[in-house]
């Protein structure tokens, strides 16, 4: 990859600033957990697996910042750090998965000295990042088997290297198919209101030399209806036990259009995106973001002042619209309740 989404370097966290892409490629340095939490909330880093990595690294930074004489005081303050991370964004379950993982590791090492615990947390956060790369490559390998030679693949939002530790889930499938030599091309939805498709997916795929066409969201049906799309591949922020999938707002519309046009609709996500505690998608919390994301583009108003706005950041695609869910442990289709349980604990 020609960029790094996030990395731990010299006891600080470095992130590419996704609010500035594609016009500027700026790397920010974070040395305290509160600014990492702010970076997640402000979308400097975004995408379910990437915010999981950021939360883990933020907790590792927080552990270093804690001044404590006793273990009791250290663990009380660590809980506060974790709560700050948990309050950043509600929908992507990878964030909560990473926080729980860091807490579990801290707890399992309670008997050790505080500096040792701090060091263990740092190593665990780096491991979360490294594992994500391997996981995405495996998602790519499985997913590429579903992509026909010469396919035109429609994707929504950015489920790429920028949304993960660096290879991507949906774009991981696309990258793997491309690496295998399949002559594929991508249609990237621009993804209003935040424009993850136009700003990030287009930037990543162009850098990679994968043939890509940018379309506005309302064009997807036009191209599907004309037979120009072979399949859709998207990422996920949370997948319920029955396969219902929360992903970027607009994903549901793409899935409905795909079904109407008999086009396979695939979801690619790591097992850490599964939330088997939720029986179906109606229980997934949906983040509402500021109205200014809808009324303004790059600070320029595009709507009259005072207009009422709604801005849900995610929607839920019912499992019945999903042809298959691609994970690092295999592909699930049909009986999602059974299949997802199996890939979650292989």
Between 236 and 263, name the residue whose CB sits nearer to ligand MRU: 236
Q: How far apart are CA 187 and CA 213, in angstroms?
A: 5
- Taking residues 240 to 269 in sequence order and writing x for each that binds ligand MRU by CB under 6 A, - otherwise, the string is -------xx---------------------
**Residue 237 bears catalytic tag:** yes
Q: Minimum distance between the CB of residue 245 and ligand MRU, rounded to whole angstroms?
A: 10
Q: Minimum distance between the CB of residue 310 and ligand MRU, rounded to whole angstroms?
A: 16
Q: How far apart are CA 157 and CA 249, in angstroms?
A: 9
* Among 51, 201, 199, CA closest to 125: 51
- Indicate whether 237 belongs to the interface with ligand MRU (CB under 6 A): yes
Tokens 């600080």 belong to 12
- Taking residues 84 to 123 in sequence order and writing x for each that binds ligand MRU by CB under 6 A, - otherwise, the string is --------x-------------------------------
Q: How far apart are CA 313 and CA 310, in angstroms?
A: 10
- Taking residues 299 to 318 in sequence order and writing x for each that binds ligand MRU by CB under 6 A, - otherwise, the string is --------------x-----
One residue of 85, 165, 224, 236 binding ligand MRU per CB under 6 A: 236
Q: How far apart are CA 73 and CA 67, in angstroms?
A: 9
Rounded (10°) CA dihedral 178, 213, 168, 340: -90
Give me the residue whose beta carbon is nearest to ligand MRU: 235
Q: How far apart are CA 284 and CA 275, in angstroms?
A: 9
Residue positions counted in the chain: 346
One residue of 61, 157, 174, 229 binding ligand MRU per CB under 6 A: 157
Number of residues binding to ligand MRU, judged by CB under 6 A? 17
Annotated catalytic residue: which of 189, 237, 244, 275? 237
Strand partners of residue 186: 153, 212
- Indicate whether 159 belongs to the interface with ligand MRU (CB under 6 A): yes
Tokens 């409905």 belong to 256
Q: Minimum distance between the CB of residue 242 and ligand MRU, rounded to whole angstroms?
A: 19
- Taking residues 44 to 83 in sequence order and writing x for each that binds ligand MRU by CB under 6 A, - otherwise, the string is --xxxx----------------------------------
Cβ–Cβ < 8 Å for 19, 43? yes
- Indicate whether 163 belongs to the interface with ligand MRU (CB under 6 A): yes
- Indicate whether 153 belongs to the interface with ligand MRU (CB under 6 A): no
Between 106 and 140, name the residue whose CB sits nearer to ligand MRU: 140
Q: How far apart are CA 228 and CA 220, in angstroms?
A: 10
Pairing of strands 231-234, 152-155: parallel
Residues 6+ apart with CB under 8 A from 245: 236, 238, 239, 251, 267, 269, 281, 316, 317, 319, 322, 325
Stretch that binds ligand MRU, among 6-14, 34-42, 115-123, 163-171 (CB under 6 A): 163-171
One residue of 5, 84, 88, 169 binding ligand MRU per CB under 6 A: 169
Three-class SS state of 197: helix
Binding residues for ligand MRU (CB under 6 A): 46-49, 92, 157, 159, 163-164, 169, 196, 235-237, 247-248, 313
Tell me which residues are annotated as active site: 237
């Amino acid at each position: 990859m020609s960029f790094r989404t996030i990395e731990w370097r010299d006891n600080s966290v470095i992130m590419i600033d996704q609010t500035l892409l594609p016009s500027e490629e700026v790397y920010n340095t974070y040395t305290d957990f509160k600014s990492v939490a702010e970076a997640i909330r402000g979308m400097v880093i975004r995408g379910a697996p990437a915010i999981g990595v950021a939360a883990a690294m933020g907790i590792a930074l927080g552990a270093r910042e804690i001044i404590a004489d006793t273990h009791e005081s250290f663990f009380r303050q660590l809980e506060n750090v974790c709560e700050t991370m948990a309050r950043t964004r509600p929908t992507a379950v990878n964030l909560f998965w990473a926080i729980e993982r860091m807490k579990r590791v801290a707890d399992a090492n309670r008997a050790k000295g505080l500096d040792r615990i701090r060091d263990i947390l740092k190593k665990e956060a780096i491991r979360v990042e490294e594992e994500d790369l391997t996981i995405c490559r495996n998602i790519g390998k499985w997913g590429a088997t579903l992509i026909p030679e010469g396919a035109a693949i429609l994707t929504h939002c950015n489920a790429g290297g920028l949304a993960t530790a660096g290879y991507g889930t949906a774009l991981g499938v696309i990258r793997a198919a491309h690496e295998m030599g399949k002559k594929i091309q991508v249609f990237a939805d621009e993804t209003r209101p935040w424009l993850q498709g136009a700003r990030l997916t287009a930037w990543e795929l162009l850098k990679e030399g994968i043939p890509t066409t940018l379309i506005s969201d309302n064009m997807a049906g036009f191209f599907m209806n004309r037979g120009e799309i072979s399949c859709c591949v998207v990422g996920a922020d949370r997948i319920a036990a029955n396969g219902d999938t929360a992903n970027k707002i607009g994903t549901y519309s793409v899935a409905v259009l795909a079904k109407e046009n008999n086009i396979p609709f695939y979801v690619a996500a790591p097992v850490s995106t599964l939330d088997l505690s939720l029986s179906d998608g109606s229980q997934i919390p949906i983040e509402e973001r500021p109205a200014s994301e809808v009324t303004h583009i790059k600070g320029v108003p595009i709507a009259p002042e005072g207009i009422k706005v709604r801005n849900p950041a995610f929607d839920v695609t019912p499992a019945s619209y999903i042809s298959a869910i691609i994970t690092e442990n295999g592909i699930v289709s049909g009986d999602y309740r059974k299949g997802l349980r199996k890939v979650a604990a292989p």
